[in-house]
Amino acid sequence: MKNAEIPPLCIEPIVENSIIHGISPKKGNGKVQIVIKTVDKKIKISVIDDGVGIESKDFKLGFGVRSVKERLKILYGEDAKLEIKQNEKNGVTVEIEFPLKEAKK
């Protein structure tokens, strides 16, 4: 995975959302974790925060997440996915998955 191609501006908007909507409203400190791994010839990126979470009745995709989703669809079609999940205890996990490609050197 050392030379894996990751599309530009796919992680930053998700991390920014975690900080603005999850961590900032929380009392005290918070944590955002980014995990990148390969699974079955795909790259899986997880952005996990321990913030305030999302109330399902208030949830809608914002501009940043919609942009990432559209960019992935243009680049990878149905082979890409973006999922947003409420964590069991608190916070949100956003998972992005797309085919593994070698970066051009």
- The tens digit of pLDDT for each residue in 35-54 reads 999 999 999 999 999 999 88
SS3 of the chain: the string is CCCECCCCCCCHHHHHHHHHHHHCCCCCCCCEEEEEEEECCEEEEEEEECCCCCCHHHCCCCHHHHHHHHHHHHHHHHHCEEEEEECCCCCEEEEEEEECCECCC
Point out the least confidently predicted range of 3-12, 14-23, 33-42, 75-84.
3-12
Say what the pTM is: 0.89
Domain ranges of the chain: 12-99
> How much is the pLDDT for 57?
62
Topology of domain 12-99 in CATH is: Heat Shock Protein 90 (3.30.565)
